[in-house]
Chains A and B, each alone.
Chain A
C-alpha cells in the first residue's frame, strides 16, 4: 500500500458541493471530493498498488489542466487503471456541478 499526495495551488475556483463516487472494489476506486478550506487543491491517494506515483501524477496533471476547483480529493484505490481513475474523477465533477 502507498500513500501519495499532490498540491495544485492554481486551482482556486470556489466549490460549495461535495461528491462521493465509486467503490473500493477490484480495479475500481472511490473518490471523495469536497471544498478545500484553504486556497488551491489537494489530493490524497491511498492505493493498494505500489510504484505508480508517476502515473497518478500524469492523471492529475491532466485532470487539473481542465478543472480549476479549490477542492480536497481523497482517493481509496484498489487497482483502478488510469482511464478508470479519470472517469471516476469526471463523474465526481459531474455530481458537484449538477
Chain B
C-alpha cells in the first residue's frame, strides 16, 4: 500500500474560505465577546437594487461585528462575496464608514479599537455607481483617520479576491493578510482582458492570474504582509498578532519614494514574468537600500 496519507491536517482543518462572511468575522473574535451591529433583522437594504430588478439582501452584503480580539477591542467589517460579488454600495459603504469612524472615536478617547476588514469584493457596485465611488472615498478617509490610532487589518482570503476601489482600501490598511487562494489587484483580470485584449491578459489562464494577483506573489513582493493557510484558527492567530503589533512605524502608503524608486528601477526592455518581478523588486538595481 501507499505510505500513510499526510494530508490529515489539511482535511481536518476548519476552512476559512468555506465560511460565509458572517461566520468568517465571528471566527476572529474571542469566544462570547462579540455582537453584530445593524444586522439582517434591522433590514437596512439597498434602496437602489429593487428599482433595477435585483433582489436586495437584508444586510446589504456587509456584516459589522464588534467585540474583542486577543483581549483588545476590535470591530470586523466583512463583505459577503456571494452577494453581488461583494460589491460596495450606498448602504454597505455607509456601514463600513460608520464602523471605522466609531472605532476611531473610541481610539481617540483612549480605547484603542482595531478594525479588521474582510474584503471579498469586486469593488464598487455598478448599480449604485456614484454612491459606491463616494463610499470608497469615505471608507479610505475614515481608514486613514483610524490607522493613526489603531491598526486597520485587511484579510483577503478568497475566492472572490479584492479588486477595484476596495483594493485601494486594502492598500491603505496597516497590515494585509492573504491566503494562497486569494487575489488582490486594482483591475480584475476580466476587466484588463476586456479593455486591452486577450493578448495583454488572458483571464482564463489561472496560473498566470494567480502568479500576478495571487497571495503568494503579493506577500512575496511585500505588498501584503502575511501569507496564511486557509485555516480559520491560523487566520485568527494572524489577526491577533497584527492587533498586538499595533500601529506600524510607517504605513506602506507613506513610503511613496521607496515604491517610486522600485518601479523606476524595473528593467522593462523585455516582458517581466512574475518570478523575475519579485526578484527585481526585492533587489532593485541602482536603488540605495
Q: Which residues of A contact B (CB under 8 A)?
A: 1, 18, 20, 23-26, 28-30, 32, 34, 46-48, 74, 76-78
Contacts and interface: CB of A to CB of B under 8 A. Distances in A.
A32 B56 CA distance: 13
Contacts of B58: 20, 30, 32, 74, 76
A18 B39 CA distance: 12
Contact of B55 (A18, A32, A77): A77
Given A30-B58, A47-B55, A20 B41 contact: yes
B203 interface: no
Contacts of B53: 1, 48
Contacts of A74: 43, 58
A48 B54 contact: yes
Contacts of A78: 55
Given A20-B58, A48-B53, A77-B55, 11 more contacts: A20-B41, A24-B55, A24-B57, A28-B82, A30-B40, A30-B58, A32-B43, A48-B54, A74-B43, A74-B58, A78-B55
Interface of B: 20, 39-41, 43, 45, 50, 53-58, 61, 80, 82-84
B55 A76 contact: yes
A5 B57 CA distance: 18
B83 A18 contact: no
A18 B41 contact: yes
A76 B82 contact: no
Contacts of A46: 50, 55-56
B83 A23 contact: yes
B55 A23 contact: no
A46 B55 CA distance: 6
13 contacts: A1-B50, A1-B55, A20-B39, A20-B41, A23-B82, A24-B83, A24-B84, A25-B82, A26-B82, A28-B82, A32-B58, A47-B55, A76-B58
A25 B83 contact: yes
B104 to A, nearest CB: 29
Interchain residue pairs A-B with the least CB separation, the first 9: A25-B82, A24-B57, A1-B53, A48-B55, A23-B82, A76-B55, A20-B40, A46-B55, A24-B83
Contacts of B43: 32, 74
Nearest to A49: B55
Point out which of B43, B53, B57 has the most chain A C-beta atoms below 10 A from its C-beta. Answer: B57
Contacts of B80: 23
A1 B49 CA distance: 10
Nearest to B83: A24
A24 B53 CA distance: 14
Contact of B20 (A23, A29, A47, A77): A23
Contacts of A34: 41
Contacts of B41: 18, 20, 32, 34
Contact of A32 (B20, B40, B50, B84): B40
A34 B42 CA distance: 12
Contacts of B83: 23-25
Nearest to B57: A24
Contact of B54 (A1, A29, A30): A1
Contact of B57 (A18, A26, A30): A30
Contacts of A47: 55
A50 B271 CA distance: 50
A1 B58 CA distance: 16
Contacts of B61: 24
A28 B101 CA distance: 33
A18 B36 CA distance: 15
A35 to B, nearest CB: 11
